[in-house]
Amino acid sequence: MAAMRLARDNGAAALEFDLHLTAKDELVLNHDPVIQTDAGPVEIAGKSLEKLRQLKPDVATLDEILTEFSDVPLTVEVKARKAAERAARRLADEPGDRPVILTAFKPATVAAAKRAAPGLDTAPAWPTILLFWLLSRVGVTAPVGAGHVALQVAIRMDQVTGLKAIPLVRRLRIADRRFVEAAHRRGLAVHVWTVDEDRDMRAVVAAGADGIFSDRPSRLTNVLDELGVRWTGP
């Protein structure tokens, strides 16, 4: 929660986080399926929220984020199918018109979320994105499926698990102008992660992307101010 507050206070136009289910099906924020505590790593799925907070008091829930950041656009990534279904239903029930995008790495997880909440905006999983990127190299604008509003991508292949170890692939740039223009022809926004260096931020903006995920929001805000760019969220 503290990181979310810091990002907002440093000019972030939207927030992005990952969700996991506890042993009692509570949706909590954490990048990995384990939480690091003084007692060592703890599996989120093996403990209730109450037990997790005994080990790490600052564990935040989806409901707490939705309440405290009620007017902030969100991108939510889910790792597992059951979490995707529960998160999709909860986000679909949220009142108002705050932009929310749900995504996942695996196509089946995104599909489960779409079945649970057909009207929820989503971003496609990585196999779809990689196919879109490959076809954009030869001038083909591939369809990505109904209900998707954005492509959320790494800046380079070396940020993608399973690709970063391939020597001829890992330095290839995904979020270049050709990719962004192909996405825009399909009416899709392009959001790029995780961009922490000034030169990469400038390159992503120059490519025409619509948003950047960064662990350094104050640095990103400064770069955008220098470039005269103002984003309001996904």
Report the CATH number at residue 23: 3.20.20.190
Give the three-state DSSP class for 4: helix
Are 128 and 187 contained in the same domain?
Answer: yes
Are 137 and 173 contained in the same domain?
Answer: yes
Are 14 and 92 contained in the same domain?
Answer: yes
Residue-number span of the structural domain to which 218 is assigned = 123-233
Q: Which of 122, 145, 163 is the last residue of a domain?
A: 122
Are 1 and 101 contained in the same domain?
Answer: yes
Are 178 and 151 contained in the same domain?
Answer: yes
- pTM of the prediction? 0.93
Closest CA to 200 of 170, 223, 226: 223
Split into its structural domains, the chain has a count of 2
Are 10 and 111 contained in the same domain?
Answer: yes
Per-residue pLDDT of the chain (234 residues; tens, 9 = 90+): 888 999 989 889 999 999 999 999 999 999 999 999 888 999 999 999 999 999 999 999 999 999 999 999 999 999 899 999 999 999 999 988 899 999 999 999 999 999 999 999 999 999 999 999 999 999 999 999 989 999 999 998 877 776 665 666 667 889 999 999 999 999 999 999 999 999 999 999 999 999 999 999 999 999 999 999 987 666
Angle at 116 between CA 112 and CA 118, to 5 degrees: 100
Q: Which of 104, 122, 140 is the last residue of a domain?
A: 122
Give the three-state DSSP class for 172: coil
With beta carbons less than 8 A apart as the criterion, state whether 193 and 215 touch.
Answer: no
Are 3 and 34 contained in the same domain?
Answer: yes
